[in-house]
Amino acid sequence: MSTGYHVFGVQGVPLVQPGDDLAALITEAMSRNGQTLENGDCLCLAQKIVSKAEGRQVPLAAVTPSPEAIALANETDKDPRLVELILSESTEMLRKKPGVLIMRHRLGLVGAHAGIDQSNIVHGEGEEALLLPKDPDASAATIRNTLRDRLGIDVGVIITDSANRPWRLGTIGIAIGAAGLTVLDDHRGGVDMFGRELKVTLINRADAIASAAILVMGETTERLPVAVVRGLPLTVGEAGDQTAALIIRPLEEDLFR
């Protein structure tokens, strides 16, 4: 039973450019800080730096909005080129009103703007937007494998994002990519401490770890896009390693489309 863990940020990770080797940038920053990544750590990376490293920055000047995007942009008071990107990244629009566009991203994530954001990116000649990584679970696995190959250590990796929720104010951390850890801890079919059957206890560890990490990562100007969670068991129960894709509730169970 875990009785304690530690969460700390990694200072001094440089601004990330397309093509950067994130595993190297992080371990080099940690080394400068006198920090060492250890076996069993869970390394949490903000989605923004993964997207930047993977070249997911799009200049809006290069986007030609469709008539559908232009109409929707008018309805929602948004830039038609941004709306074009949002539509191209999404499979479904759930809600719209002026200033608000709630989409289902092709990865299954539901939220504002299909995860596209325009903060904390360097805007060159014009406006730019940053898309989510193409396959965040694969991004997490690549970083995990790179660290294993180079350092001989086994770590969990989570790509975190900030998410809003329909009935609660304020963003929390969520895991949009994961490798090397149990994402959903399944107690369904187990019993509680008085022997009563537990009917609905499926615990989302990856989102909880992402939220724990975001408390030190900062979301504005803190320049701390990486955090380490140390002392939590990476895998629990019989599930072993899982991906963040498992978190997406199947469409047929969705009561709030």
Least spacing, CB of residue 59 vs its own copies, in Å: 15
Rounded Cα gap, residues 185 and 211, in angstroms: 16
Looking at the Cβ atoms of 142 and 226, the one nearer to its own copies is: 226
Which residues have C-beta within 8 Å of that of residue 132, sequence separation ≥ 6? 47, 51, 56, 89, 105, 107, 109, 114, 115, 116, 161, 176
Least spacing, CB of residue 149 vs its own copies, in Å: 28
Looking at the Cβ atoms of 70 and 112, the one nearer to its own copies is: 112
Q: Which of 189, 159, 123 is CA-nearest to residue 50?
A: 159
Least spacing, CB of residue 256 vs its own copies, in Å: 4
Least spacing, CB of residue 212 vs its own copies, in Å: 4
Least spacing, CB of residue 238 vs its own copies, in Å: 15
Looking at the Cβ atoms of 66 and 204, the one nearer to its own copies is: 204
Long-range contacts of 23-30 (CB under 8 A, 24+ apart): 23/143, 23/146, 23/147, 23/150, 26/226, 27/147, 27/150, 27/151, 29/226
- Helix 67-76 with 80-88: angle, nearest 10 deg: 110
Query: Per this entry, what is the length of the chain?
Result: 257
Looking at the Cβ atoms of 23 and 232, the one nearer to its own copies is: 232
Looking at the Cβ atoms of 152 and 257, the one nearer to its own copies is: 257
Looking at the Cβ atoms of 150 and 164, the one nearer to its own copies is: 164
Least spacing, CB of residue 187 vs its own copies, in Å: 5
Least spacing, CB of residue 67 vs its own copies, in Å: 25
Which residues have C-beta within 8 Å of that of residue 112, sequence separation ≥ 6? 100, 101, 102, 103, 164
- Helix 136-151 with 22-32: angle, nearest 10 deg: 50
CB 98 within 8 A of CB 111: no
